[in-house]
Amino acid sequence: MIVVLMGYMGSGKSTIGKELATLLKYNFLDLDDYISEKENATISDIFKDKGEIYFRKKETEYLKEIIDSYNDIVLALGGGTPCYGNNLKILNDDKKVVTIYLKLSIPLLATRLYAERDNRPLISHLSSEEELLEFIGKHIFERTQYYNQAQHIITTDHQTKKDILEAILLELI
């Protein structure tokens, strides 16, 4: 089985994914890290040097590679991965893949991301929490239709890691 975590940046995909992998005795993969390693460049540099179209093509290529090559992993997607090309179809059509949307409210995403915006190129230019709230709101509006196609939706607002992990494990039974 491949457990795929999707959701907006800052929703906890990597943090929860690593702990979930440990509980399941699976390996953990972060798609952005996988792409960076294969391309020998950071995601920011790929966007800057080769553009978003190149990145999105590579993202789909590497997503297929992971789905075809691995079993027993927890895979954290990039926030935009399910929203481009046929990535969501690739995931939802594969019988060994279980997709889970980690849903966190916009205000909580903004609070969480504001503190770490310097490490996130997409939002580093935003100087206030209000600007960030507006930015996230627009993105979530555009992406929700994709995220909601996940096989399971876990609302994570005000939940502990333990609560979130238990909710995911219950969905996987």
∠ CA 146-151-153, nearest 5°, is 75
117 assigned ligand-binding residue: no
12 assigned ligand-binding residue: yes
Per the structure, the count of domains in the chain is: 1
Q: Give the domain CATH number at 114.
A: 3.40.50.300
| Least confidently predicted of 18-22, 47-51, 95-99 | 47-51
Tokens 């997409």: give the residue.
Answer: 122
69 assigned ligand-binding residue: no
Residues with Cβ within 8 Å of 143's Cβ and at least 6 positions away in sequence, in order, are: 8, 79, 80, 82, 83
Judge residue 90's burial from the number of C-beta atoms within 10 Å of its C-beta, 0-12 exposed, 13-18 middle, 19 or more buried.
Answer: middle
Q: What is the pLDDT of residues 118-167, one digit of tens each?
A: 777 678 788 888 888 999 999 999 999 999 999 999 999 999 999 999 99
What gap in Å lies between CA 40 and CA 42, rounded to an integer?
7
143 assigned ligand-binding residue: yes
What gap in Å lies between CA 74 and CA 139, rounded to an integer?
25
Range of the domain at 82: 2-172
10 assigned ligand-binding residue: yes
Asked if 63 contacts 81 with a C-beta cutoff of 8 angstroms, the reply is yes
Q: How many other CB atoms are there within 10 angstroms of residue 72's CB atom?
A: 13
14 assigned ligand-binding residue: yes
What gap in Å lies between CA 165 and CA 3, rounded to an integer?
12
11 assigned ligand-binding residue: yes
pTM for this model (two decimals): 0.93
